[in-house]
Structure 1
């Protein structure tokens, strides 16, 4: 029986490093943002490599759901899922067959990082409301990116236990370079992960949020605080 772990996070988190971590397990197949092409097709948003993304994945969420709940060759199927890709018209019935987990990050750091990529993000761009909605409906373990970076071994052990999985030391390091599971968008976004051999060291520096975006941080904080109260 396959354990289908859907790890839900917003953008500008350590989601790709977490995918590397789980993808390093001998018993795991990883899937990178399976709803990305659907999201681009449905919204018309222009992202780097848009045409390649649309050509690389199904554009109907129903087809994605069928793939993610269908046969899997490994005991664990790790899904790197972006909360903002789960648009309101996506059906929810298939989500009941997944084991949900949630990766959170302080919104000040999320906004500061996102602002370097897109100048005027919205709350929906950051995925905080979508994430709390999923958590309230399905529950599941919550890990904070800061906790992972402070102590990867201890945090991942707790996460694996909560997911009913044995911890694997291989989750703590990996070979540099691209992986087969990386989305076709990797050349635009994954340079840091491709250069890495493990989780980055925790940086305690405060986030530098542009003044114009401070209201966005405050709007996102109640969602983060509710999730953070449940973190492992």
Structure 2
């Protein structure tokens, strides 16, 4: 694994929140909630371009993403451990767990408070397959999320908060209050609703992935759990479910 050691400057009072999830996990809605706070700036999937560059994977809008975003993971890590561009008190970082391949260092994580957003794999797979066919376990980041949970626990000396997407959708105010409490920040009612439409903070990939969140103005109640009919999706669900259940043992409650 690569290493690097960016660290916050002495006297730095920035609160950096690294939120870890896989794709299709209401992670962008969670980013909207934090971005709507008056004290917060957000960064959308900082390592996406670096992941594309290192892996060479064929992914939607690959060329546009690499052209628009920093692909040197060391430069990304340095920025993550620094202050947000406009000096806000809270620097919220929306991370995709599957982007954290071995070539990307972890030392910058010491500068952050970590949280983990989980979702039942059946929900993730149904949503993902609508955007990109034939997802594998590595595409949805469940194994990587488990590994990063252990890394964050070791770095921080305590178990980081875990929030289940279904719980959040069922009672946004209670769960956001619980999450903010666990992160040692004040809850803001502004997190419960936001204006529809795109944001300047959205990554270049928004045109492919963010149509639903661009229409949203808040969290919607969860739909019934889908039953997967595709054999390939069921196989991935069977692989992912124990990983989801393992993290769910630590999830916040209302």
TM-score range, shorter chain: over 0.9
Q: How far has the Cα of 1:112 moved from its partner? A: 2.1
Q: How far has the Cα of 1:185 moved from its partner? A: 1.4
Q: Secondary structure at the match of 1:116?
A: helix
Contact 1:37 1:54 in 2 (8 A): yes
Which residue number in structure 1 is paired with residue 192 of structure 2? 172
| Separation in structure 2 between the aligned mates of residue 47 and residue 206 of structure 1, nearest angstrom | 26
Q: How far has the Cα of 1:208 moved from its partner? A: 3.0
TM-score, structure 1 as length reference: 0.96
Q: How far has the Cα of 1:209 moved from its partner? A: 4.2
| Separation in structure 1 between the aligned mates of residue 148 and residue 230 of structure 2, nearest angstrom | 29
Which residue number in structure 2 is paired with residue 56 of structure 1? 68
Which residue number in structure 1 is paired with residue 51 of structure 2? 39
Contact 2:23 2:140 in 1 (8 A): yes
TM-score, structure 2 as length reference: 0.88
Q: How far has the Cα of 1:119 moved from its partner? A: 2.4
Residues 207-216 or 138-147, more deviating: 207-216
- Give the total of aligned pairs: 232
User: What are the equivalent positions in structure 2 for 1:1-232 lying under 5 Å apart?
Assistant: 1-72=13-84, 73-139=87-153, 140-232=160-252
Contact 1:112 1:207 in 2 (8 A): no
Q: How far has the Cα of 1:206 moved from its partner? A: 2.8
Task: Provide runs of 4+ in structure 1 moved above 3 Å.
Answer: none
Q: How far has the Cα of 1:61 moved from its partner? A: 0.8
| Separation in structure 1 between the aligned mates of residue 126 and residue 214 of structure 2, nearest angstrom | 22
| Separation in structure 2 between the aligned mates of residue 215 and residue 188 of structure 1, nearest angstrom | 26
Which runs of no fewer than 5 residues in structure 2 stay unpaired? 1-12, 154-159
